[in-house]
Amino acid sequence: MRQQTFDETNEKTNNENNNLFFSKNKAILIVLVLFLAIFVKTIYLKDSIIPTATDLGHHMYWAKLISTTGQLPNYQERDIIENNGHYQISAPRKIDDFIIGEHLIFAAINLVSGLDFISAFPSLVLFLAHIFSLLTIFILTIRLFKNFENDIGDYSPILALLFVGPVFAISGSQAKFVSGGVVGNILGNLLIPLFAYFLTRALMEKKSLFMALAAFTALGLAYIHHLSAFILIFIFLFAVIIFLFSNIKRFFSFVQDWLKIILSWPVVLALIFATVMFLVYLPTYLNTTAIDTAVGHPEKPTRTGLSLPQIKYAAGETRLALALAAVIFLIFSQKIKNYPGALISGWFLAIFIMTYKPQLLFIDIPSNRIVNYLSFPTAILSALSASWFIHKIKNSDLGPAITTSAIGLLLIAVIAGGFYDNSQSLKTTTKMGPALETFAAARYLSDKTSSSDIVLKDHNYVLADAWIKLFFMRDYNFPFSRGLLKRYEDKFSKREMCTLWMISAPNLPSGEKCYADLGVNFVMINPRYDAGQFAKSKKFDAVYANDNVGIFYRNKKQ
C-alpha cells in the first residue's frame, strides 16, 4: 500500500481544519442545493423580469436622478394640498422613506455600463444581492455551529442552505421581493446576516478587525434601509440580553473581553468613520417625526401583530416548529450561554416578538413587513434542529431502515411545504405586454408636453405606472397619481381627494374645481375602466389610444 507523503498528510490536516473544506459528497450536495435555488428563482423571475414593480419604479427614479445630475438627490416631492378651500401644488417637501444607499449602486452601474434603467439590470442586481444573502447564511451557519457535535456542525450549514434556498424560494422576502423591487429589504437581508457573521467571528476568535467590519456593516445598513437597521438594533439587544442573562455570574469578565476587542484601532477607526459620515450626511429618516411613526403604541389593525397561523404561513409551519424546538434545545443544552446560541436565539426571538406582540416593544410598523425577516433565523434554527435530530438518530440503536425513514420523513415535511409554496407562486404570472404600452404612452406624453403642463395618471389600472416618472424626471410625484382606491377611505390618515375626483368624477363640481385650481391638463388612464366619464364631456379630447392606456387632454375651448 502506498504510504502518504508528509506533504499529503499535511495538506489533508490543513483541509480538515479549514471550515470551508468539504468532502466530495458534501460539495456535490451544496452545489445541487444552490443549483436548485437559482433554478427555481430564475424560472419565477423570467415572467417578471420586465420592470413593472411599483417599488422598483420609485427607487429607479432616484437612481436615474443621481445618474443624470451627478449629485446626491434631495429626497423631496411636491404634493397636492388644500389651503382655505383652494387646491394647490405645494413647494417641495422632504420624504423620509428613501435613503441614499438604496440608489447609489444602480446609479453607478448605469453610469459605468450605460444600461437603461428600464431593462433587466435592476432586478438582476437585486437577484445577485439575494443570492449573496443565501451564501452569507451558509457561511454564518458554518461559523455558528462549528463547535457543536460533529454531525451538527457538518449538516446544519447544508440544511440551512436547503431550507432557505430552494425551499420557500419565492414567497416572502425571497424572489418575490426581487421582482417586486423591494430594494432596502433585499439589501437588508444581505447585511443583517453579514453583520452576524462578522460579530460571531469577532467574539469567538477575539479579532478586532472583524468587530470593525461588523460596525462598518451596521453603518452601511443605516444608509441603506431604515427598517432593517431598526430590526438589527433589536436583534443585537436581544442577543446581548440573552447572553448576559445566561452568563450573569461572569458578566464583568465578558464585558472586559468585549472592551478589549472594541478599544482597538480597527474598531476605533470604524467608529470615527461612522461619526464623520453622520456629520457629513445624516440619513434622512433620523428625525423625530419619522421615528415617531415607527415607535409607539400600535393602533392600526395592520400593526398590532400577526396571529400564529399567519406567522406559520409566512415562515413555514414545519420550519417554525423546528426553529422553536431548536431554541428549546439551546436552552436545555446550555448552548444558549455561548455566543452563537445567544445570537441566533436573540435574532429569532426579537423578530418573533416584534411580529407577534409588537406592543410589548412599542413597535408601530406593519407586522407583515417585519415577519419577512423571520425566514433567515428560522432556516438556521430549523437546520440546527434537523441536524441534531439526524445526529441523535444516527447514533441510536435503531436499524438503518428506521434511521433512513425517520430522516427522510423529517426532510420531506420541511421541503414539501416549501415546494408547495413555490408551486403556488409560480402559478401567478405577470402580463408584461401592457407595461410596454404604458412606456410608449409615457414617451409620447413626455415628448409632447412642456414644464407648464400638469399630468395626472392612475395607479389602479395602468400597469407599471410608477415608471412613468422616469420619462419626465420633473418630480418624484410627477405625474400626480390617483392612488389605490381603498386608501382614500383610510380613516387613520387623511388624504387629499383631488387625485381621486379628477379621474373618478371629472365632471362633478368637486372634480372640476380641482382641475381649475391645479391646472391639470393631461390624464393617463386605462380606457377599459375609466374612459366613460371623460368621453361624456366636451372638455376632454382623447389624444392618444393604445390597448391599455388612453390619454385625455383637458382643452380650454369649452
- Give contact residues for another protein (rule: CB under 8 A): 15, 20-24, 26-27, 30-31, 34-35, 38-39, 41-42, 45-46, 49-50, 119-120, 123-124, 127-128, 131, 135, 432-433, 436-437, 440-441, 444, 448, 522, 538-548, 551, 553, 555, 557-558
CB of 442 to another protein, least distance (A): 12
Minimum CB distance to another protein smaller for 98 or for 522: 522
Minimum CB distance to another protein smaller for 131 or for 271: 131
CB of 102 to another protein, least distance (A): 21
Determine contact, residues 62/104, Cβ cutoff 8 Å.
no
Minimum CB distance to another protein smaller for 29 or for 361: 29
CB of 221 to another protein, least distance (A): 24
Place of cell 409554496: 421
Bridge partners, residue 295, by sequence: 363
Place of cell 469578565: 253
Reported as type and span, the H/E element at residue 94 is strand 93-94
Minimum CB distance to another protein smaller for 431 or for 487: 431
CB of 347 to another protein, least distance (A): 25
Classify residue 146 by burial, with Cβ atoms within 10 Å: 0-12, 13-18, 19+: middle
Alpha carbon distance 500, 506 (integer Å):
9
Minimum CB distance to another protein smaller for 46 or for 427: 46
Determine contact, residues 378/312, Cβ cutoff 8 Å.
no
- Helix (H, G, I), strand (E, B), or coil: what is residue 93? strand
Alpha carbon distance 107, 67 (integer Å):
5
Alpha carbon distance 161, 148 (integer Å):
18
Determine contact, residues 187/129, Cβ cutoff 8 Å.
yes
CB of 452 to another protein, least distance (A): 11
Minimum CB distance to another protein smaller for 182 or for 219: 182
Minimum CB distance to another protein smaller for 41 or for 335: 41
CB of 45 to another protein, least distance (A): 6
Minimum CB distance to another protein smaller for 8 or for 299: 8
Is residue 509 reached through a cis peptide bond, with omega within 30 degrees of 0 on the bond before it?
A: no
CB of 68 to another protein, least distance (A): 21
Determine contact, residues 388/152, Cβ cutoff 8 Å.
yes
CB of 63 to another protein, least distance (A): 18
Question: Within a 10 A sphere around the Cβ of 87, how many other Cβ atoms?
Answer: 20
